[in-house]
Amino acid sequence: MSYHLLRLTLPSFETNGYRIWVNSPDLAERKESQEHLGFKFQDWIFGVTRSSYYEEYDNLLLSMDLEEVINFVSVPYENK
């Protein structure tokens, strides 16, 4: 499932061909924002998609763990 609508309000940054989205640290807020948009709740704080350069926003990784995200994006997208 793509959370493109939800992500319109989330901060993000790009590195190595990826965009990393940062969700709220508050569980209640994460639940409310997804359910408000009609999504089945899936808990994550960090979401990784391809860079905005590619105009694709399918989830490559959803995680609660920043270290997992750092390891995932350490290899440039073009080399995966």
**Residue extents of the structural domains in the chain:** 4-79
H or E segment and range at residue 68: helix 66-73
Whether the model clears a pTM of 0.75, i.e. scores above it, the answer is yes
Answer yes or no: is pLDDT of 15 > 90.
yes
Mean pLDDT of the residues in the chain: 86
**CA dihedral sign, ordered 20, 61, 17, 66:** positive
| Higher-confidence position of 17 and 6 | 17
Summarised one tens digit per residue, pLDDT across range 40-68 is: 899 999 999 988 766 666 889 999 999 99
Percent of residues in the chain assigned helix, strand, coil, to nearest 5: 35, 20, 45
For residue 44, the one-letter residue type is W
Average of per-residue pLDDT across 68-72? 97
